[in-house]
């Protein structure tokens, strides 16, 4: 049986290689290499953390809205409910769900931005 490297492993390998050659690059190219490494970090975290974060968000939004659906549909329903004034800061569970969702997204996009850790 052939075992292929996982996407996360490939992303990490490319990021490490870029980081290894970066010190020998001209300043502009070194900066662009650092940007590329950061992008690969986001991709790697999205691959590893993204599915659970989305599943958690779907669970929260389903409970909040009392409906089932995928993330995009539930998020669109939530936005519409907020826009139409059906939900606001006084809606039980709304702020907690939004905070938990954004905390998990920040853990993927900018994990060093805050010391707040994702909640489920």
pLDDT in tens, 60-87: 999 999 999 999 999 999 999 999 999 9
114, part of any domain: no
35, part of any domain: yes
User: For the chain, how many structural domains are there in total?
Assistant: 1
Q: In terms of Cα–Cα distance, which of 54, 89, 95 is closest to 74?
A: 54
55, part of any domain: yes
pLDDT at 40: 97
pLDDT-derived band at 114, boundaries 50, 70, 90: low
87, part of any domain: yes
Domain that holds residue 45: 7-109
Straight-line distance from the first to the last Cα atom of the chain, in angstroms, rounded to the nearest whole number: 37
1, part of any domain: no
Q: What is the rounded average pLDDT of the residues 44-48?
A: 96
Q: Are the C-beta atoms of 26 and 56 separated by less than 8 Å?
A: no
118, part of any domain: no
Q: Which two tokens stand for residue 88?
A: 């606001």
Cα-atom radius of gyration of the chain, to the nearest Å?
19
The yes-or-no verdict on residue 117 having pLDDT over 60 is: no
78, part of any domain: yes
The yes-or-no verdict on residue 29 having pLDDT over 80 is: yes
Task: State the pTM of this model.
Answer: 0.81
Q: Which residue has the tokens 């769900």?
A: 97
Identify the H or E element spanning 66.
Answer: none
């Amino acid at each position: 049986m052939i075992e292929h490297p996982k996407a996360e492993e490939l992303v990490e390998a490319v990021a490490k290689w870029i980081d290894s050659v970066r010190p020998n690059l001209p300043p502009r190219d070194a900066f662009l290499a650092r940007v590329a490494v950061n992008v690969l970090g986001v991709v790697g975290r999205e691959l590893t953390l993204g599915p659970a974060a989305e599943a958690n968000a779907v669970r929260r939004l389903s409970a909040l809205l009392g409906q089932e659906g995928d993330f995009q549909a539930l998020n669109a329903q939530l936005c519409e409910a907020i826009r139409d004034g059906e939900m606001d800061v006084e809606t039980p569970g709304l702020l907690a769900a939004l905070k938990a969702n954004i905390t998990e997204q920040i853990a993927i996009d900018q994990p060093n931005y805050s010391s707040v850790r994702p909640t489920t």
